[in-house]
Structure 1
Amino acid sequence: MTNPSILYRGGRLYCPADPRATALLVRDGRIDWLGVDADAPTADRVVELDGALVTPAFVDAHVHATDTGLALSGLDLSGARSAADVCAAVAGFAAELPADAVVLGHGWDESAWSDRRVPDAAELDRAAGGRRVYLSQASIHSALCSSALLAAAPEATGVPGFDASGWLRRDAHHVVRELALGSVTEAQRRAAQRVALRRAASLGIAAVHECGGPEISSEADFTAVLALSGVDGPEVYGYWGELMGAERARALGAAGAGGDLFADGALGARTAHVSVPYDDGEPGACGHGYLTSAQVRDHLLDCAEHGMQGGFHAIGDAAVDTVVSGFAGAAEVLGVERLRAARHRVEHAEIMNKRLIAGFVEYGIVASMQPAFDRLWGGEQRMYASRLGLRRSLESNPMGAMHGVGVTLAFGSDSPVTPLDPWGSVRAAVAHFNPVQRMSVRAAFAAHTRGGWLAVPAGAGGRDPRLTEGMLVPGAAATFAVWSTPAGVDDGGLPVLVSASAEERGPDDPTPLPTCRRTVLRGAVIYDGEDAS
């Protein structure tokens, strides 16, 4: 028995092949027809669009669903502007918790504070009434911990990254993170995952790439997120970041053996591996490289042996250089064309140069990037400039240059590092702090829609991304979003995202962004704004 056919009419479709289209017919999960209202075929049901814009739905190419859900429903510290703000927020949140609960918070970013002193372990003890406290920094690569939590994790003492002040990085952070998140019950985890996926659907996101691994999540957590794929929400494609773990990734149901397989850390924690020392770190400090080029090579060979897509987290230019060198080593064994055909990925790729970009082109590496990083931390006065100096800051996140030479881009949020916000990410790429790196709305939108499908290997989820995923054309999957566009639609058929005023145009542009009215995944409605209201 076939599903009822549905005609969506009276809108405006982003369909470059037929820019006049105002209607589309959905039958059995696919787009059966599109064109103008007057030519529309009959259907079992009709949905009036009332002038709304219809576009392909977004794909978020890098998320952490459980952490996102916990951040959405837990202690949000993104608004804190001082150590006192953090302590006040902890005190208010902890007062509602049982005495034996762990206080979990996320999102503080001292780089934006006028006084960059962070609260120490003793201050967190007092604020939380003696409860264990774990507060992840915006990058998720370091955290503030109370004395009570440190006492519960004696194995972290003396491990690289440990500091008695309670601000932990590197391996010590991994130890306390595992302990803190281990306090979350299975029911809480499932609830958090559903909260995250529902939020994604409400923003016009129909698929997410979940990045897990032994250093950031458990196998049970990872597979639980995968089990929710397409269950009244977005599809989930998983990446398991374990070195030499291609066989394990396949057994877990992952699309690839990569994602957060760490070649380095993060700029916020000064653990990203850079070739020139940090401007605001210890003298000569260049962060930390966690992999060698030989390990990168061997991981790619392991992926080839098991027929898996691979990938790495690499932020600093020294880490990216290690990864590209590993690709060169793998190419000597496999040949360049076989390596290119696997469409391996690098997550973030924030600090690049022309030579490294050329390596992405040569080996067909997909760049999974987060435009919001530039919006939040780029420019002359923000974190990149503090860590790297102005020149290197302006050279960061070179998505425009990479797009210009043909690197496949897949945009995402790294949520909860930055919020789920697809139109905000498109605007961030369009309004990059460095005008040289700015992209067109059309190119940035493609990177956040079709690019996300192209970043997933053919066959994952029973689909082939090389065909019509991320497009509104007859025969394609009926995966789209319906939008209200308060600032209007431009001549190319996409929403106006930036101001006509040159003074207002930029990462903090006040132009109102589109709001999602409905999200459809393969013909099924996974979000309806009318139901939500």
Structure 2
Amino acid sequence: MADEPADRILKNGVIYTLDAARPVVTALAIRGDRVAATGSWEEIAPLAGARTVVLDLAGATAYPGFVDGHAHVGGLGRAMEILDLTGAASEADVAMLVRRSAAGTPAGDWILGRGWDQNRWPEKLFPTQASLTAAAPDHPVALTRVDGHAIWCNRRAMEIAGLGERAVPVDGGEILVDESGRPTGILVDRASDLIESKIPAARPEDIRRRLKRAMERCAAVGLTQVHDAGVGSAELAQYRALLQADQMPIRIWAMLEGDEAWLESQLAAGVSQDAAGRLVIRAVKMYADGALGSRGAWLLAPYTDRPDTSGLPVNPTETLERIARLCARYGFQACTHAIGDRANRTILDVYQRVLAGLPDGRERRFRVEHAQVLAMADIPRFHALGVIPSMQPTHCTSDMPWAVRRLGPERARYAYTWQTLIRTGVVIPTGSDFPVEAPDPLLGFYAAVTRMDKAGQPPGGWTPMERMTREQALRGMTEWSAFAAFQEKDKGVLANGKWADITVTDQDLMRVPESDILKTRVLLTMVGGRIVYDGRAPKEPENR
């Protein structure tokens, strides 16, 4: 087998393998869907046969395939088909976009959108239903906040949902009210279900189209795999259909939605993976709290800018522990969304109780998704318990303009503590949480190593002692993400026998000036030795 010709050879590039034996090479051979050899062109050239495709990288840089360690593929696909509000600079801007949409939408049909963020507006205040009602009085309107943890709706949508003149208590959620006690049109976390449940459900063909479009978008930005955080039964069925039709350009590592009634039957069926490793089902997603931007993150002490609340738990602790024990019983990973310091402490306590009864507790690799705001005393507990903090660098750079206002300076110091956690011995799989943030992994790489926004602010980075090194940032979206998914035997580094998942860029991310990282362009994305995105212009010739 070692003497058989390669199917494809990459040469004349800078190839970062992350393999300790040969960390940087200039050529790489692929046989089938696996790496066959790495080295110099002189070492690899003998593997070229009559049918071998030789790809000249012409000085470009290759890496182990980039992975998004926490994202929402179906959410991205849906966001691509509704109003994009991420660029809206004010409540009036959003209302204008809704008005334009209403002009071309039949009366009575829902107008949906996503991406508004009041923290980016001059007044920094939550909007109300009044502006949306004036913009689209004949349409129900539901606009999801950028973090996915709040909905802004108009009067028509509120009436359909049965929201009257007084708010009702909602476990795990909040209906915001004005001075007179009337609902304002903002529903946080579980309260959003009152509106979501009234929006017509997506048809199977809609879900399938959205998943496919979103995966194609991921491939175009250099992603070879996504850890999809919260896959329900409808999406799972369409993933399987796409897999059967060979229409999955990237790999999906699926976390089952913890709220689904069918969860235990799915767990009892066992961990699932197709032969090519395109669709892996071996984890469960739960929620301990909401998001910081909508003040749903559950804190140990009240919010600095709203002292009447400390956020809220989305699920009872008993529910989190019950599902974590199911995961332990059936060999699945528990992956829990926790942003506030109280939510993080609570889920670490839950994991500690569950894992303490297992002889291999540290090897279960339970995860905390986001691990955004931590009490100093809880930071060492991740390594002690073998718990993996899955974190998103662009959350830091998106939140830093207002995080101190929410948390105060003392708590903010222990927010987004990447380097402090790494020094305890943990690995950090990184991701974007798209569509909360853009899916482009280069944005995450830049945020991780600079802690600055796209304009280079603040100079030197926000709490710069927590910046990652470039090697750490690269490992976060390759090797560490593979470890977080129990896939280190198959991926994460480019070495003999590993999957040939490769991302190629026109610039060397490990060497270009920080200011040029965001100018870098993805040239090729390869999954299992197959090119799933080709961004070369003009195309480089493939010599045979």
Alignment of structure 1 residues 364-383 onto 2, 5 Å: 364-378=386-400, 382-383=401-402
CA contact (8 A) 1:82 1:117 kept: no
Match for residue 502 of structure 1? Answer: none
Shift of 1:25: 1.2
* Residues 362-394 of structure 1 deviation map (CA, whole Å, 9 limit, x = unaligned): 11111111110111111xxx2212211233223
Match for residue 456 of structure 2? Answer: none
The answer to whether the aligner puts 1:258 opposite 2:284 as a matched pair is yes
CA contact (8 A) 1:240 1:249 kept: no
Shift of 1:66: 1.8
Q: Does the residue aligned with 1:326 lie in a helix, a strand or coil?
A: helix
Match of 2:251 among 213, 225, 235: 235
Question: For residues 532 and 166 of structure 1, what CA distance do their matches in structure 2 show?
Answer: 50
Question: For residues 393 and 450 of structure 1, what CA distance do their matches in structure 2 show?
Answer: 29
* Residues 58-89 of structure 1 deviation map (CA, whole Å, 9 limit, x = unaligned): 11111111211222332111111111011011
Question: For residues 302 and 356 of structure 1, what CA distance do their matches in structure 2 show?
Answer: 25
Shift of 1:523: 1.0
CA contact (8 A) 2:220 2:533 kept: yes
Match for residue 162 of structure 2? Answer: 154
Match of 1:109 among 109, 113, 117: 117
Match of 1:277 among 291, 296, 302: 302
The answer to whether the aligner puts 1:37 opposite 2:47 as a matched pair is no
The answer to whether the aligner puts 1:526 opposite 2:532 as a matched pair is yes
Question: For residues 438 and 291 of structure 2, what CA distance do their matches in structure 1 show?
Answer: 17
Match for residue 27 of structure 1? Answer: 31
The answer to whether the aligner puts 1:349 opposite 2:371 as a matched pair is yes
* Residues 298-338 of structure 1 deviation map (CA, whole Å, 9 limit, x = unaligned): 3332222212211211111101111111122224433xx42
Alpha carbons of 1:482 and 1:396: their partners in 2 closer, same or farther (altered >3 Å)? Answer: same
Match for residue 504 of structure 1? Answer: none
Partner AA of 1:472 in structure 2: L
| Greater Cα shift, 185-194 or 313-322 | 185-194
Alpha carbons of 1:403 and 1:264: their partners in 2 closer, same or farther (altered >3 Å)? Answer: same
Match for residue 505 of structure 1? Answer: none
Alignment of structure 1 residues 426-465 onto 2, 5 Å: 426-432=445-451, 433-457=462-486, 465=487
Alignment of structure 1 residues 172-211 onto 2, 5 Å: 172-180=191-199, 182-211=200-229
Question: For residues 190 and 479 of structure 2, what CA distance do their matches in structure 1 show?
Answer: 36
Match for residue 65 of structure 2? Answer: 57
Question: For residues 327 and 435 of structure 1, what CA distance do their matches in structure 2 show?
Answer: 31
Q: Does the residue aligned with 1:221 lie in a helix, a strand or coil?
A: helix
Question: For residues 263 and 512 of structure 1, what CA distance do their matches in structure 2 show?
Answer: 34
Alpha carbons of 1:442 and 1:513: their partners in 2 closer, same or farther (altered >3 Å)? Answer: farther
CA contact (8 A) 1:20 1:36 kept: no
Question: For residues 305 and 233 of structure 2, what CA distance do their matches in structure 1 show?
Answer: 37
* Residues 105-161 of structure 1 deviation map (CA, whole Å, 9 limit, x = unaligned): 111110121113444223212313521111111111001011221222227962422
Question: For residues 117 and 309 of structure 1, what CA distance do their matches in structure 2 show?
Answer: 38
Q: Does the residue aligned with 1:192 lie in a helix, a strand or coil?
A: helix
* Residues 12-40 of structure 1 deviation map (CA, whole Å, 9 limit, x = unaligned): 11135335521111111111122222332
Alignment of structure 1 residues 364-443 onto 2, 5 Å: 364-378=386-400, 382-432=401-451, 433-443=462-472
CA contact (8 A) 2:190 2:314 kept: no
Alpha carbons of 1:527 and 1:495: their partners in 2 closer, same or farther (altered >3 Å)? Answer: farther
Question: For residues 512 and 269 of structure 2, what CA distance do their matches in structure 1 show?
Answer: 44
Partner AA of 1:519 in structure 2: T
Partner AA of 2:440 in structure 1: D
Partner AA of 1:414 in structure 2: D
Gaps of 5+ in 2: 177-182, 273-279, 452-461, 540-544
CA contact (8 A) 2:442 2:517 kept: no
CA contact (8 A) 2:366 2:388 kept: yes
CA contact (8 A) 1:427 1:497 kept: no
Question: For residues 450 and 106 of structure 1, what CA distance do their matches in structure 2 show?
Answer: 32
Match for residue 507 of structure 1? Answer: none
| Greater Cα shift, 407-416 or 292-301 | 292-301
| Greater Cα shift, 114-123 or 400-409 | 114-123
Match for residue 466 of structure 1? Answer: 488
Question: For residues 538 and 101 of structure 2, what CA distance do their matches in structure 1 show?
Answer: 27
Match of 2:74 among 57, 62, 66: 66
Alpha carbons of 1:132 and 1:295: their partners in 2 closer, same or farther (altered >3 Å)? Answer: closer
Match for residue 360 of structure 1? Answer: 382
Shift of 1:479: 0.6
Match for residue 233 of structure 2? Answer: 219
Question: For residues 247 and 357 of structure 1, what CA distance do their matches in structure 2 show?
Answer: 35
Shift of 1:235: 0.8
CA contact (8 A) 2:84 2:113 kept: yes
Aligned residues: 498
Alpha carbons of 1:189 and 1:99: their partners in 2 closer, same or farther (altered >3 Å)? Answer: farther
The answer to whether the aligner puts 1:322 opposite 2:332 as a matched pair is no
Question: For residues 516 and 52 of structure 1, what CA distance do their matches in structure 2 show?
Answer: 10
Partner AA of 1:238 in structure 2: A
Shift of 1:292: 4.9
Question: For residues 532 and 108 of structure 1, what CA distance do their matches in structure 2 show?
Answer: 38
Match for residue 312 of structure 1? Answer: 336
Q: Does the residue aligned with 1:304 lie in a helix, a strand or coil?
A: helix
Alpha carbons of 1:20 and 1:429: their partners in 2 closer, same or farther (altered >3 Å)? Answer: closer
Shift of 1:356: 1.3
CA contact (8 A) 1:212 1:222 kept: no
CA contact (8 A) 1:60 1:208 kept: yes
Alpha carbons of 1:201 and 1:175: their partners in 2 closer, same or farther (altered >3 Å)? Answer: same
Q: Does the residue aligned with 1:411 lie in a helix, a strand or coil?
A: coil
| Greater Cα shift, 62-71 or 105-114 | 62-71
Match of 1:97 among 66, 90, 105: 105
Alpha carbons of 1:310 and 1:227: their partners in 2 closer, same or farther (altered >3 Å)? Answer: farther
Question: For residues 404 and 226 of structure 1, what CA distance do their matches in structure 2 show?
Answer: 40
Partner AA of 2:148 in structure 1: I
CA contact (8 A) 2:208 2:242 kept: no
Alpha carbons of 1:178 and 1:456: their partners in 2 closer, same or farther (altered >3 Å)? Answer: farther
Match for residue 141 of structure 2? Answer: 133
Shift of 1:295: 4.1
Shift of 1:395: 2.2
Question: For residues 383 and 227 of structure 1, what CA distance do their matches in structure 2 show?
Answer: 43
Question: For residues 93 and 177 of structure 1, what CA distance do their matches in structure 2 show?
Answer: 20
Shift of 1:249: 4.4
Shift of 1:524: 1.4
Alpha carbons of 1:145 and 1:95: their partners in 2 closer, same or farther (altered >3 Å)? Answer: same
Question: For residues 418 and 267 of structure 2, what CA distance do their matches in structure 1 show?
Answer: 29
Q: Does the residue aligned with 1:206 lie in a helix, a strand or coil?
A: strand
Alpha carbons of 1:65 and 1:331: their partners in 2 closer, same or farther (altered >3 Å)? Answer: closer
CA contact (8 A) 2:442 2:518 kept: no
TM-score, structure 1 as length reference: 0.87
Alpha carbons of 1:294 and 1:124: their partners in 2 closer, same or farther (altered >3 Å)? Answer: closer
Question: For residues 104 and 414 of structure 1, what CA distance do their matches in structure 2 show?
Answer: 20
Question: For residues 269 and 36 of structure 2, what CA distance do their matches in structure 1 show?
Answer: 36
Match for residue 459 of structure 2? Answer: none
Q: Does the residue aligned with 2:335 lie in a helix, a strand or coil?
A: strand
Shift of 1:257: 4.1
CA contact (8 A) 1:83 1:117 kept: no
